[in-house]
Amino acid sequence: MIATLDDLDVEGTTVGVRVDVNSPIDDDDTLADDARLRAHVDTLSELLERGGQVAVLAHQGRPGGDDFVSLASHADRLSTLLDQPVDYVDATFSEAAREAVRDLSNGGCVVLENTRFYSEEYMEFDPERAARTHLVEGLEPVLDAYVNDAFAAAHRSQPSLVGLPSVLPSYAGRVMESELDVLGSIEETDTPRVYVLGGAKVSDSIDVAWSVLEKGLADHVLTAGVVGNVFLIADGVDLGDASSDFIYDQGYWDEIDRAADLLDAYGDRIALPRDVAVARDDDRHELGVNALPPGDGEAAMDIGNSTLDYYRRILSDAETVILNGPAGVFEDERFQTGTQELYGVATDIPTSIVGGGDTAAALRTLGVEGFSHVSTGGGAALRMLTAESLPAVTALENAPQRPAADD
């Protein structure tokens, strides 16, 4: 049983709130998209309005990446979204950070620096060991409670996610609560239930496909994106060198054998693309699977119209659809059709659940809306769909005793 904000006596309490605001970043190192920040506004404003003091903890990017930047611009944006001043301090758990947290008055909010600027926060620990990291030992003395709203990072066992809830009374924020509610009860949704697996997380998607087919949760699995390309190769289709090299370079070559095993075991419930779109003379050009391989240097960048017709027929009977990953390279407007059409069809199905950071961004870009639930998580949502436990959620379940709520 996980405690929520309903169980927390907020007035006068200093709360460390872990959010996931890992976002696209512009060339000047500032925030390019605030969707993930907006998702946490309900949790943060509720805590502030109920008289708490809030220290926001978050990561941005991974060491070495162009998006591995400070949270200064996130704090600026948060101030606008919350319509109140939000301090920012370029420290996470040092004396400067503790001082900034101690200085908070009721209803005050400070954003601490990118947790991953410190190496421990990019390592995986069991909760006991995570409780003895510098981040946890540095912050614990100035916090009364911990709230985890970072569902999108809940598959990581890093100190700010599993260490703090080992030592502080801990609660799920509103985002976490709603994600667990929806993604934790997929088995109760109506059937026929169809899973659409696109995007580029091939290993994770194959794990999900195995799990939902084996457990009888999926009546059909439709494949698209890089996942669909891997299944086509596994089925003996020659996709040409460009797509094969891409799959090899991404480290997914071994997944072809796993996809082939899956087709052997459950091929009757797995649908593969019937055509693909490539770039030819700078335009989109569709090729039926029988016409493959494509020309030199041409890669399969999207699903084509006959695949869309085929998938539309399967989806026309569905009561529930769960989708993860774009159907094509949506960043290039020539290859947006697959994602736009496929996800568009899904909005007409009674229960439609979408997961994935890039997927959510694609849907915003393409103006596709009307789903029952759009998850803030990609990897975390996929992991939940395999009914695996998420370390940060387990840490909340095992968190220490808490003070009683005020009502």
Ligand X SMILES: Nc1ncnc2c1ncn2[C@@H]1O[C@H](COP(=O)(O)OP(=O)(O)O)[C@@H](O)[C@H]1O
Q: Can you say which residues are annotated as belonging to the binding site for substrate?
A: 20-22, 36, 59-62, 116, 156
> SS3 for 194?
strand
Distance CA 193, CA 349 (A): 10
Tokens 């509103």, located at residue: 174
Chosen from ligand X, ligand X15, none, partner binding at 152 (C-beta under 5 to 8 Å by type)? ligand X15
Strand partners, 100: none
Q: Cβ of residue 229: shortest distance to ligand X, in angstroms?
A: 6
Chosen from ligand X15, ligand X, none, partner binding at 273 (C-beta under 5 to 8 Å by type)? none
Determine, following the binding rule CB under 6 A, whether residue 156 of this chain makes contact with ligand X15: yes
Find out whether 391 and 383 touch, Cβ atoms under 8 Å: no
| Stretch binding ligand X (CB under 6 A), from 130-138, 261-269, 318-326, 391-399 | 318-326
Determine, following the binding rule CB under 6 A, whether residue 159 of this chain makes contact with ligand X: no
Distance CA 29, CA 201 (A): 26
| Stretch binding ligand X (CB under 6 A), from 106-114, 180-188, 196-204, 290-298 | 196-204
Nearer to ligand X15, 21 or 318 (CB): 21
Kindly give the interhelix angle for 337-346 and 357-366, rounded to the nearest 10 degrees.
90
Chosen from ligand X, ligand X15, none, partner binding at 328 (C-beta under 5 to 8 Å by type)? ligand X
- Applying CB under 6 A, among 16, 338, 379, 391 the residue interacting with ligand X15 is 379
- Applying CB under 6 A, among 240, 294, 378, 391 the residue interacting with ligand X is 378
Distance CA 331, CA 53 (A): 40
Chosen from ligand X, ligand X15, none, partner binding at 120 (C-beta under 5 to 8 Å by type)? none
DSSP state letters, 261-316: HHHHHHGGGEE--SEEEEEETTEEEEEEGGG-S-STT----EE-HHHHHHHHHHHT
- Applying CB under 6 A, among 26, 128, 214, 331 the residue interacting with ligand X is 331
Interaction pattern, residues 335-374, with ligand X; x per rule: CB under 6 A:
---------------------xxxx---------------
Q: Cβ of residue 62: shortest distance to ligand X15, in angstroms?
A: 5
What single DSSP character describes residue 188?
Answer: G
Which residues 220-239 are close enough to bind ligand X by CB under 6 A?
Answer: 225-226, 229
Tokens 């900034």, located at residue: 100
Nearer to ligand X15, 304 or 325 (CB): 325
Distance CA 235, CA 271 (A): 11
Total residues interacting with ligand X15, rule: CB under 6 A: 10
Nearer to ligand X, 82 or 202 (CB): 202
| Stretch binding ligand X (CB under 6 A), from 123-131, 195-203, 258-266, 398-406 | 195-203
Structure tokens at 92: 């996470």
Find out whether 313 and 336 touch, Cβ atoms under 8 Å: no
Nearer to ligand X15, 127 or 379 (CB): 379
Q: How many degrees, rounded to 5, is the angle at CA 63 between CA 61 and CA 69? A: 50
Determine, following the binding rule CB under 6 A, whether residue 326 of this chain makes contact with ligand X: yes
Query: Residues 6 or more apart from 265 whose CB is under 8 A from it?
Result: 213
Which residues 334-363 are close enough to bind ligand X15 by CB under 6 A?
Answer: 357
Distance CA 363, CA 396 (A): 31
Phi and psi at residue 131, in whole multiples of 5°? -70, -20
What single DSSP character describes residue 124?
Answer: -
Instruction: Using CB under 6 A, list all residues that contact ligand X.
Output: 199-201, 225-226, 229, 300-301, 324-326, 328-329, 331, 356-359, 378
Under the rule (CB under 6 A), what is the footprint of ligand X15? 20, 22, 62, 152-153, 156, 357, 377-379
